[in-house]
Chains A and B, each alone.
Chain A
Amino acid sequence: MAPNLSPPEVLHSVPEIERALAHIWADAATHRGDGEHHVAARSSVLNLVVIAGPRETSDRCAAIIEATAGRHPSRSLILSALDDEGRPGLDATIQTVAVATAAGADQTGAETIYVTVRGETSHHLASIIAPLLVHDLPVALWWPRDPQFSSHRADRLLPIADRLIVDGSSWSGDGLDRLGAMALVTEGRRLVVADFALLRQARWREALASVYDLPDLRPHLRAIRSITVEFAAPQGGDPTGLTNIVRPVYHVAWLASRLGMSVVDPMRRLPDGRRVATLRQGDHAVAAEWRPVCSDLGEGSTVRVGIVSRLPGAELVGDVTAGDLSVEVAIHDKGRERVRRTYLAPRLGDVDLLERALEDSASDSVAAEALAMAGHLIAAEPTPRRAVARSRRKTQEPGP
């Protein structure tokens, strides 16, 4: 990584930021970064806007963005709203990085704009963001902490974005209210949601799909009778019900959405900490169960997914478990082990997750359907405020 091309001058208005950006890129066209390679023509691929909140979140996001700069040269805006009560205004600094893309190749550049807002200005983040976007490039809005989907801020920010990036597994409490709110607020919008919680499960999905790759087992996909997800919880019982279970919910939501299931009885919590729901696939019921278990894994992590299907004279049990580096699939056909295979599939780090969130368009529709199904599973209901917003959108926006 070449050194920062620009001094960390503190700027105090959007026009100052705009002028500084223009100046930096004019300089970069002739700047000799390391004495050997000049900064190549800029090829930004997106705008990445981060609603960071406190400083430590902002720093963590900045480090992740910097690590992805070679792959996604972006204009990144990291916004922190520190003080609701102070004098209105903003402080901004710009950091540019030049990244050598290959040995001997030219460098590409990316810029990160750090904006800290104060007072009344913090209620108008959208007005700061809009003029700083690179024209006509997609906008990804990364909301790394607890997004307030039922807020004025969300109402103003979400229309800016083409892609919303969140991490449902980091949300406070069990995460289900927020998951439900996200399912509702994104419904009918041209907004792609990339949830790290769902992206983390890609290795699980590959493994679960592999259960039915053998052609003779595929008919079982239409005969699922139960889905059990075991997740790590305190004392193995989740006594407070506050373990974040967004990831375990996504497993069932994904399976249900892909296999054409509908929700008969939404999820409910039993006294022993388990949660259950009833789905329907064709003419038969499917029992869904989320079971808290003791585990060394982090709270809310999936420990095991089991699927039982039943055809006349045949029962198939697919079991998937995962460790840090691999996922193991075991298939029992009529009580006998048919396949046991370990997939090398390490857990994804934050940098991998952000890269996938930005580029994995192939699975967008799958993610949208899984999110909608998650909303049905947890019986998310629109609040009056959301209901109004939704009806307004439906009358104003053309259909997808």
Chain B
Amino acid sequence: MSPTRAPVPPSPARTARQLREATSSARRRHRPDADLNPLRQGLRLERVPDPCSFVLFGATGDLAHRKVIPAIYQLWRTNLLPAEFSIVAVARRPYTDEAFVAEVRASVEANSRVQPVDEAAWAELAKRITYQQLDFGDDAGFDRLGERLDALDGERGTAGNRLFYLATQPSQVTEIVHQLGRVGLDHELRGSGWRRVVVEKPFGRDYESARRLNHEVAKVFRESQVYRIDHYLGKETVRNLLVFRFGNGIFEPVWNRSYVDHVQITVAESLGVEGRGAFYEETGASRDILQNHLLQLMTLVAMEPPSSFHADALRDQKLAVLRAIATPNVERVRHDVVRGQYGPGWVAGVETPGYRAEPEVDPESETETYVAGRFTIEDWRWSGVPFYLRAGKRLPKRATEIAIQFKEVPLPLFRESTGDPAPNVLAMRIQPDEGIMLRFAAKVPGLGLDVRTVNMDFDYGTSFAVDSPDAYETLILDALLGDASLFTRADEVEAAWAVVTPIIEGWAAMPAPRFPNYAAGTWGPEAADELMERDGRRWRRI
């Protein structure tokens, strides 16, 4: 045995929640009277959700059936929900409790990530599901909902705790929130339990509409009661970004303008709009991906280390990044941002139609299915380091990746020994095949001094071949636990829109490009390549 062998390193699989719990454990050692269950230390969860009612608006919709209810089932199946738990499913269509339970049972069968459905677990959960028909404009209906929740507190021991999950059309959010406020379902009076509301993205269509939405929600709920869900933030590998950056000491010293040449973030989809043409016509790539997923990834890459993994400490640092992004004016939009729309082409050997030929899409549509931009962060760490962001549909493959390209060595001693002196790159693949890759130069074995670029590839799948929880499981559990770290705060949403809205407005003020401008199955319009080439760079081949 080597006497200098290092102690066992902490498990790299630790998640943000585990880090938070570890932090709180350390703190608890100095606070023996903390109101936690000491028997839970070292178990899967150091806290379990309080008894509560989960009120699911839009319960008959696609999101509820595909994601929310299967996630709740999975949490229930793995004993992560309390026995005193009830689901009140709310929607406009008429159902009996039995008919609704039968329908969601079929959804769980179709969408649960663990098959087959565990009959005993489902039977117990099904007992806790009730359905309430409710038109969101019906005052009396909301009164009845309040009465029903009060009754459930007595029958099921849900202790007055309520989580309202709005899996509805965005346009219905304000109305539902107002109704909840009108009947007092937002009130957290002393001893009456907590009240939380989960709102699905999109959070507005632009800066002004986001502000209005936040304002309307804030009329009823305090910010600490509001959980804006962007499922991307619940993905295991996105959360691992935090561990990678702040759980390792060797990267921080080079994570700045002195060493980083530029950053590329790519969210590529091979799919088209998949039957959601009407929705996509109203959003486009900038609203659908840039405003949330891409900017969220950018904040996680660029943020300063938070003082803890508690919600506001984390979100304060992300907000600081968003506010430091240089807001593009019309001229910069023209110069630094590219939009595209796919035409017909071939993806993975299959001929696909152009965007304008998709169902529910205007044949003259000017909606962008691709966006790429050059962004800068005006702070001491990142000043002068461009962040190139791109997202698109019908690209050659599905891939999400963050690549940190480092500066070249100051004196290229081996320039003559290699045909392609590629600089170091640290690439973090988010999906698929989550992993981390470091590119560096190595000598080719032999008598000469030939240098070649090699990749050192770490694949999460080969080291941790274990099923990750679905993002909705993570986020719903966090909301039930009152942990808002992975949810977006109102000021974050507005700051992100403050970056994207000038782009949308700039495009509106200038002639549209000639769409379609890229063929399905290619890496986007030529203008996107030119954007990089102007800076002497190129997009990574993914």
Contact = CB atoms under 8 A, between A and B. Distances in A.
B465 A363 contact: no
B534 to A, nearest CB: 36
A70 B42 contact: no
Interface stretch (B234-242, B316-324, B455-463): B455-463
B9 A138 contact: yes
Interface stretch (A14-22, A115-123, A145-153, A201-209): A201-209
Contacts of B50: 215
A363 B10 CA distance: 12
B67 interface: no
A105 B42 contact: no
A383 interface: no
Given A73-B463, A190-B7, A259 B120 contact: no
- Mostly, the A contact residues are mixed
B42 A43 contact: no
Interface in A152-204: 159-160, 162-163, 190, 192, 202
Given A106-B459, A359-B11, A366-B42, A212 B37 contact: yes
- Mostly, the B contact residues are loop
Give the interface centre of B14, B38, B77, B464 by most chain A CB atoms within 10 Å: B38
Interface string A108-135: 1000000000000000001000100100
B409 interface: no
A71 interface: yes
Interface in B74-90: 77, 79, 82-84
B190 interface: no
A31 B459 CA distance: 19
B39 A344 contact: no
B8 interface: yes
Interface string A252-285: 0001001110000000000000000000000000
B518 to A, nearest CB: 27
A367 B457 contact: no
Contact of A213 (B9, B37, B459, B466): B37
Given A40-B459, A106-B459, A209-B39, A70 B465 contact: yes
Contacts, number: 113
Contacts of A359: 11, 13
A73 B464 CA distance: 9
Given A259-B38, A362-B18, A162 B8 contact: yes
B155 interface: no
B457 A41 contact: yes
Given A43-B458, A163-B8, A210-B48, A344 B38 contact: no
A55 interface: no
Contacts of A341: 83
Contact of B462 (A43, A206, A345, A366): A43
Interface residues of B, number: 45
Nearest to B4: A136
B457 A258 contact: no
A363 B118 CA distance: 28
A4 interface: no
Interface string B39-60: 1111110001011000000000
B516 to A, nearest CB: 31
B348 interface: no
Give the interface centre of B456, B457, B465 by most chain A CB atoms within 10 Å: B465
A50 to B, nearest CB: 17
B48 A159 contact: no
B420 interface: no
B31 interface: no
Contacts of A206: 43-44, 79
A365 interface: yes
B35 interface: yes
A13 interface: no
Contacts of B118: 344
Interface string A42-77: 010100000000000000000000000011010000
A344 B120 contact: yes
Give the interface centre of A259, A344, A362 by most chain B CB atoms within 10 Å: A362
B254 to A, nearest CB: 22
Nearest to B464: A71
A162 B8 CA distance: 6
A56 B14 CA distance: 36
Nearest to A400: B7
B42 A345 contact: no
A344 B121 contact: yes
Interface in B10-45: 10-11, 13-14, 18, 22, 32, 35, 37-44
A344 B81 CA distance: 12
B155 to A, nearest CB: 14
A274 to B, nearest CB: 25
A192 B8 contact: yes
A343 interface: yes
Contacts of B38: 221, 258-260
Interface in A322-362: 326, 339, 341-345, 359, 361-362
Contacts of A126: 1
- In this complex, the interface size class of chain A, counting residues with CB under 8 Å from chain B, is 35 or more
Contacts of A212: 37, 39
B18 A221 contact: no
Contacts of A314: none
Given A136-B5, A213-B48, A205 B39 contact: yes
B413 interface: no
B250 interface: no
A90 B37 CA distance: 52
B350 interface: no
A257 to B, nearest CB: 10
Interface string A216-242: 001001000000000000000000000
A210 B50 CA distance: 11
Contact of A208 (B6, B39, B44): B39
Contacts of A209: 37, 39-40, 43
Contacts of A106: 459, 462
B379 interface: no
B44 to A, nearest CB: 7
Interface string B62-99: 00000000000000010100111000000000000000
B11 A361 contact: yes
B433 interface: yes
A218 B50 CA distance: 13
Nearest to A163: B8
Given A71-B464, A130-B1, A363 B43 contact: yes
B35 A218 contact: yes
Contacts of A361: 8, 10-11
A41 B40 contact: no
A255 B37 CA distance: 12
B298 to A, nearest CB: 28
Contacts of B462: 40, 43, 73, 101, 106, 108
Given A126-B1, A206-B43, A208-B39, 6 more contacts: A41-B456, A136-B6, A138-B8, A162-B8, A206-B79, A259-B39
10 cross-chain pairs, A with B, having the tightest CB-CB distances, nearest first: A366-B42, A363-B42, A108-B462, A209-B39, A341-B83, A70-B465, A101-B461, A162-B8, A160-B1, A71-B465
Interface of A: 40-41, 43, 45, 70-71, 73, 99, 101-102, 105-106, 108, 126, 130, 133, 136, 138-139, 159-160, 162-163, 190, 192, 202, 205-206, 208-210, 212-215, 218, 221, 255, 258-260, 326, 339, 341-345, 359, 361-367
Interface of B: 1, 5-11, 13-14, 18, 22, 32, 35, 37-44, 48, 50-51, 77, 79, 82-84, 118, 120-121, 124, 433, 456-459, 461-466
18 contacts: A40-B459, A43-B459, A70-B465, A73-B463, A101-B462, A105-B461, A108-B463, A126-B1, A133-B1, A138-B9, A192-B8, A205-B43, A213-B82, A221-B37, A260-B32, A344-B77, A362-B42, A365-B42
